[in-house]
Amino acid sequence: MTTHYTHHDTPVGRLLIQGTDNGLSGLWILGEKHAPTVAPEWRRNDRAFPEIRSQLDEYFAGTRTEFDVPLAVEEGTEFQRSVWAALLRIPCGITKTYGQMAEEIGNPKAVRAVGLANGRNPVSIIVPCHRVIGANGTLTGYGGGLKAKSWLLHHEQRLKPLAGLMGWHQPASGGSRQ
C-alpha cells in the first residue's frame, strides 16, 4: 500500500500529514522532536487528505472542536496505544495531568511512562497530546514545542463554549474518537 504525504500550513506551523488509503497515520508539526524525515518510498500528493485538511482548517478557524477522521496508526506498543486511546477521550478545552492519564489507563504508577508515550504520539493535534499538563498545572514537554502547546490550549479555551453547545458525539466507526 502506498504511503502518501503532504504539508499543511497552520497557525502553529507547517504540518506534515502522512497516511494511506486506510487513513491518517501521522501528523506532525515540522521540526517536532519525533517528526520523521520523509521516506523515499512515500509519495507526495498535495491533493491527498482533503477531509483531514478541511477539518484542521475548521479547528484552527474556531468552528470545529473534535475530529472525525479514520486513523491508520500501525506503530506503538500496546501501552502506547492505550495512552493514545485515552488521549482521544479528553474533550476540547479540558486538560488532564499525566497522573490522571495513568489512573485512567489503570496504571497509576506509570506517570513517567505515560509522559513518554504521550511524547511518541504520531498524530498530534487530532490525538490531543497537547491537553496533558504537569501535576502543578504547568505546561510540560510537547514535541511541537511549548509555544505550539500554549497556542493550542489557549485556542481551545476560546472554543470551549462552542464545544458545550455542540455537545460531544461518537463519530462513525473508524473515526478518531474511540
Give me the active site residues, please.
129
CA distance 141 to 124: 13
Whose grid coordinates read 494511506? 20
DSSP letters for 134-158? -TTS-----TT-HHHHHHHHHHHHH
Q: Measured at the alpha carbon of residue 35, what is the angle toward residues 86 and 89, in degrees to the nearest 5?
A: 15
* CA-wise closest residue to 12 among 130, 116, 174: 130
| Strand blocks (E) in the chain | 4-10, 13-20, 23-29, 43-44, 96-97, 132-133
Kindly state the cell numbers that stand for 89. Answer: 477521550
Q: Which residues contact 33 (CB under 8 A, 6 or more apart)?
A: 119, 143
